[in-house]
Amino acid sequence: MLVQNVEMGPNVRGLENSIDESLVKNSTFMGIASGRSMEGMGIFDGDILIIDRAQDVKNYDIIVACLNGLFVCKIADLKNNQLLSSCPEYKPVKLTSFDEYCVEGVVTQSIRMHRPNARLGVVRLYKLRVTRPRS
């Protein structure tokens, strides 16, 4: 799939790189956001998330993690060992030794979906629908 600029006039330029080459590297996978807790960061229900496993998590990065068997997209507050939502109606999740917690990757980009696309082959998994690259 090639990406093209859409301009208001007759001059339309095409990009030479495919979306895969530009956005999805070997250690990257895609997920579809579900819910409203990250709207303050511009991530809305149904948006495609580009998640990079090779990135080191830094304080206040947006991450995808598996928390007690559920995939979540949250802000990593490393100093206080908690996960934050960007909307104030959602309380922080303080991580404890009883939690099963694993960071899946850092969200590097999000793409707004204005119409669902069945060709993406995305499967819903709890709070986040995730697709992994084919090996």
Q: State the catalytic residues.
A: 37, 74
Strands 101-111 and 70-77, sheet pairing: unpaired
Q: Are 4 and 14 in contact (CB under 8 A)?
A: yes
CB neighbourhood size of 42 (10 A): 11
Residues in contact with 93: Cβ distance below 8 Å, sequence separation at least 6, in sequence order = 67, 72, 74, 82, 83, 84
Distance CA 15, CA 31 (A): 24
- Please give the single-letter amino acid code of residue 28: T
